[in-house]
Amino acid sequence: MADVALRKVVKRYDDVEAVRGIDLDIADHEFIVLVGPSGCGKSTTLRMIAGLEDISDGDIMIGGDVVNDVPPKDRDIAMVFQNYALYPHMTVAENMSFGLRLKHYPKAEIKARVTEAARLLDITDLIDRKPKQLSGGQRQRVAMGRAIVRNPKVFLFDEPLSNLDAKLRVQMRIEIKKVHQKVRTTTVYVTHDQVEAMTLADRVVVMNKGKIEQIGTPNELYHKPATRFVAGFIGSPAMNFIPCRLEDVGGTLQIRLTDRIAFALPPARAARYNALPRTEKLLLGIRPEHLTESHAHHGPGVESFDTVLDVTEPMGMETLVYFGLDGTPVCGRVDPNAGATDGAPMRLAMDLNNMHLLNEATGVVL
Amino acid sequence: MSSVTIDKAAPTRTVKYGSMSRDRKWALRWSYFFLTLFAIFSLLPPIYMLVTSLKSSAEISAATNPWWVFHPTLENYIGLLTSNQFLRFFWNSALVSIFVVTITMLISVPAAFALARMRFWGSATLATGVFLTYLIPDSLLFIPLFKVFALFGDWTGIQLINRWYVLLFIYPTLTVPFCTWIMIGYFASIPKELDEAAIIDGASWFQTLTRIFIPVALPGLIAATIFAFTVSWAQFLYPLVFTTSTDQLVLPVGIITTLIKGDVFNWGQIMTGALLGAAPPLIIYAFLMDYYIAGLTAGATKG
């Protein structure tokens, strides 16, 4: 077990910078998820921690030691790959014990560790099978077993669930969380799936274009995103961004969305945004769940408006409604019994207590 | 309503199925026709060899039906198998082939592993270069090679020409490039994550090769082995040029030089010798056929 630290880590391929100066501190026992779109440098970062890629600049420390030039086998890490990377000619037990056998562990200890890991992962019955006789989920368990038996300082997961079907993915996600609760090994997990990131992580690192956009707990990222990228990336359906400007009407601060629609800001928000120049081009960030059907009575800061729905998507527990505000597509989530129908007018309510205001040019959340 | 739909749909499907199977039937007929043609074409020479090898010299020169044996005899087989000279050729061929296969594999497999996996400056060019050397025909190379060994003999006093083991230096110029090329394709089809997993598990490059790559690429390895064996067993030009004393000859050259005396062709024994010489590769093919085919086709399906 160990902590991991990245100090101004850079990865250059010829003249392309894949990772552009990353600082990250991962505490002992922590489960960190690196998330971002493809090409954001998350896998490269993981592979640099593993030692599979050289780092162009900066330092990587595992357990306080700089490991920049330490080969992978001496870093005491274990990695789980997207395509499992099981050795096809070995049985499950041989796959799991390969690393221990290379290090000449006593046979009894190898057997004990493999048995224990197999029990933990519920693959005891499969121990003598070859990988091709296993299903995708079973293979992924074996790959995790191979990591666990080594009892390494750090687990590295590279999109381990991407090859599984949706149902199995949810199941394995829970398995991984359970395993981490039991073995408590420091874990770095890479995924492009923000749901995986939110459900698994102690802290999520959102990456974009080779840089860290924001680090935080899942709730922090969801409720207090720092940038437009994070706000739009975390959450599904994604947050709406509606062009708007601030204006003063009779001593109260208003946010104007269209010629027709303007709302008075709740006092807390008004105080926060009052110093902003009124001419600045802004974006209102509002999550679909804060755009619901209007009720006769609603709390302070919730404002109603009329619109015409373009499309509705019944999801069962809720209905997603899509409409336009001056050409900007907007998504809301309403009660399935609220009577939302395609092409019909509807009165919706916007919860401004949960709004975000962004600078349109810089993408920074204000 | 729904029953009507079913009634309509059912015959349409049968007709369609029928036409497909008719297509298939014709395709099968044609393929059997051409396969039979090909089988006759390729089996006629060995059958002729077999027929001739069972005849006495008198019957061969007699004007009877050449495709039939009227007085079968094993005298050619007995003659060859009791001749020390012929057994010597066989032994030389076996030694050369076994050593060449071993040398080839010891060079090709690590070379292919390095070229397929260790990215180093010029590795891609080198891989292509290795293959290009295979394209140079031996009829172009034997004179310069002869010169090389002659000069080597002059300078060092070690005479390699007219020794069977000179072939151990020459045959690999044919087998190593091709086998390396086959193995590069094989190793390249192994997912990159597999060696990364091995490296993280603590394996060295050498352990990755011996414990992961070689077992996983075994069909390719067998294909390469068979190729190297066939090439060295059947090679004719090089041994003809480089060996002359009868005790240094390998089988193909030995048969020609000892069984043709001037303009007298000992056809019975030539055919027998050729048949016996073709036996070892045949036996090896028969046993490793499945592996060999898997070896040749695996690269194609994996892209």
Tokens encoding B108: 């090709």
Question: A-B interface: how many C-beta pairs under 8 angstroms?
Answer: 56
Query: For residue B220, what pLDDT is reported?
Result: 86
Task: Indicate whether A63 pLDDT > 60.
Answer: yes
Cβ pair A87:B191 closer than 8 A: no
CA A282 to chain CA centroid, Å, is: 26
Query: For residue B292, what pLDDT is reported?
Result: 64
pLDDT in tens, A127-149: 999 888 888 888 989 999 999 99
Q: How far apart (Å, rounded) are the C-alpha atoms in residues A24 and A38?
A: 20
Q: How far apart (Å, rounded) are the C-alpha atoms in residues B102 and B171?
A: 12
SS (H, E, C) B67-108: CCCCCCCCHHHHHHHCCHHHHHHHHHHHHHHHHHHHHHHHHH
On whether the CB atoms of residues A53 and A47 are closer than 8 A, the answer is yes
From residue A40, how far is each of A25, A126, A194, B50, B170 by CA, in Å? 19, 37, 14, 70, 53
pLDDT in tens, B138-177: 888 889 999 999 999 999 988 888 888 899 999 998 899 9
Find chain B residues with C-beta within 8 A of A76's C-beta: none
Find chain B residues with C-beta within 8 A of A99's C-beta: 200-202
Maximum pairwise Cα distance, chain B: 99
Peptide bond into A237 cis (omega under 30): yes
Q: How far apart (Å, rounded) are the C-alpha atoms in residues B56 and B271?
A: 12
Tokens encoding B79: 């003659």
Cβ pair A85:B193 closer than 8 A: yes
Cβ pair B200:A103 closer than 8 A: no
From residue A213, how far is each of A225, B6, B179 by CA, in Å? 9, 60, 50
Q: How confident is the model at residue A115 (pLDDT cuts 50, 70, 90)?
A: very high
Of the candidates B194, B203, B211, which has its C-beta nearest A85's C-beta? B194
Range in A47-51, A61-65, B63-67, B228-232 with the lowest mean pLDDT: B63-67
* Chain B interface disruption, residue of A14, A87, A105, most B CBs within 10 A: A87
pLDDT in tens, A180-222: 998 889 999 999 988 899 999 999 999 998 889 999 999 999 9
Cβ pair A102:B203 closer than 8 A: yes
Query: For residue A1, what pLDDT is reported?
Result: 66
Chain B nearest-CA residue for A103:
B202
Of the candidates B194, B199, B218, which has its C-beta nearest A72's C-beta? B199
Query: For residue A222, what pLDDT is reported?
Result: 92
- H helical segments located in B82-217: 84-117, 123-134, 138-156, 167-170, 172-188, 192-200, 205-207, 214-216
pLDDT in tens, A252-269: 888 888 888 888 888 888
Element (H or E) spanning A323, and its range? strand A319-325
Of the candidates A85, A89, A103, which has its C-beta nearest B215's C-beta? A89
Q: Which residues pair with A10 in a beta bridge?
A: A20, A57
Chain B nearest-CA residue for A76:
B200
Find chain B residues with C-beta within 8 A of A81's C-beta: 193, 196-197
Q: Which of B272, B245, B258 is nearest to B81 (CA)?
A: B272
Q: How far apart (Å, rounded) are the C-alpha atoms in residues B180 and B169?
A: 17
Q: Which residues pair with A254 in a beta bridge?
A: A247, A264
Look at residue A304 and give its three-state secondary structure: strand
Find chain A residues with C-beta within 8 A of B218's C-beta: 89
Q: How far apart (Å, rounded) are the C-alpha atoms in residues B17 and B25?
A: 12
Range in A31-35, A53-57, B91-95, B256-260 with the lowest mean pLDDT: B256-260
Find chain B residues with C-beta within 8 A of A85's C-beta: 191, 193-194, 196-197
For the segment A295-303, the average pLDDT, to the nearest whole number, is 82
Cβ pair A83:B201 closer than 8 A: no
Burial pattern A177-194, b for ≥16 Cβ within 10 A else e, equals: eebbeebebbbbbbbbbb
Please tell me chain A's helix, strand, coil percentages from 3-state DSSP, rounded to the nearest 5.
30, 35, 35
Chain B nearest-CA residue for A144:
B197
Non-local CB neighbours of B172 within 8 Å, separated by 6+ positions: B100, B103, B104, B107
Chain A nearest-CA residue for B201:
A99
Q: Which of A14, A56, A42, A73 is nearest to A209 (CA)?
A: A42
Query: For residue A100, what pLDDT is reported?
Result: 93
For the segment A47-69, the average pLDDT, to the nearest whole number, is 90
Tokens 């809301």 correspond to what residue?
A332
Cα of A103 to nearest chain B Cα, Å: 7
User: What is the number of other CB atoms lying within 10 angstroms of the CB of residue B201?
Assistant: 27
Burial pattern A300-317, b for ≥16 Cβ within 10 A else e, equals: ebbbebebebeebeeeee
Task: Indicate whether A330 pLDDT > 90.
Answer: yes
Q: How far apart (Å, rounded) are the C-alpha atoms in residues A66 and A71?
A: 12
Query: For residue B19, what pLDDT is reported?
Result: 63
Query: For residue B296, what pLDDT is reported?
Result: 53
Tokens encoding A117: 């890991």
Low-confidence ranges of chain B (pLDDT < 70): 1-20, 291-303
Cβ pair B193:A89 closer than 8 A: no
Cβ pair B198:A52 closer than 8 A: no
Cβ pair B207:A99 closer than 8 A: no
Cβ pair B200:A72 closer than 8 A: yes
CA atoms within 13 A on the CB side of A320: 13
pLDDT in tens, A98-113: 999 999 999 999 999 9
From residue B286, how far is each of A182, B44, B281, B292, B299 by CA, in Å? 54, 20, 8, 10, 22
Q: How far apart (Å, rounded) are the C-alpha atoms in residues B221 and A40?
A: 40
Q: Which residues pair with A359 in a beta bridge?
A: A282
Chain B nearest-CA residue for A104:
B202
Task: Indicate whether A6 pLDDT > 70.
Answer: yes
For the segment A10-21, the average pLDDT, to the nearest whole number, is 87
Contacts 24+ apart (CB under 8 A), A173-182: A173/A199, A173/A200, A175/A121, A175/A141, A176/A144, A176/A200, A179/A120, A179/A121, A179/A144, A179/A148, A180/A31, A182/A120
Residue type, B177: P
Query: For residue B10, what pLDDT is reported?
Result: 47
Cα of A102 to nearest chain B Cα, Å: 7
Q: How far apart (Å, rounded) are the C-alpha atoms in residues A89 and B211?
A: 10
End-to-end distance of chain B based on CA atoms, in angstroms?
50
Of the candidates B193, B200, B211, which has its C-beta nearest A78's C-beta? B200
What's the mean pLDDT when you consider all of chain A?
Answer: 89
Q: How confident is the model at residue A17 (pLDDT cuts 50, 70, 90)?
A: confident
Query: For residue B151, what pLDDT is reported?
Result: 93
Find chain A residues with C-beta within 8 A of B207's C-beta: 102
User: What is the number of other CB atoms lying within 10 angstroms of the CB of residue B292?
Assistant: 18
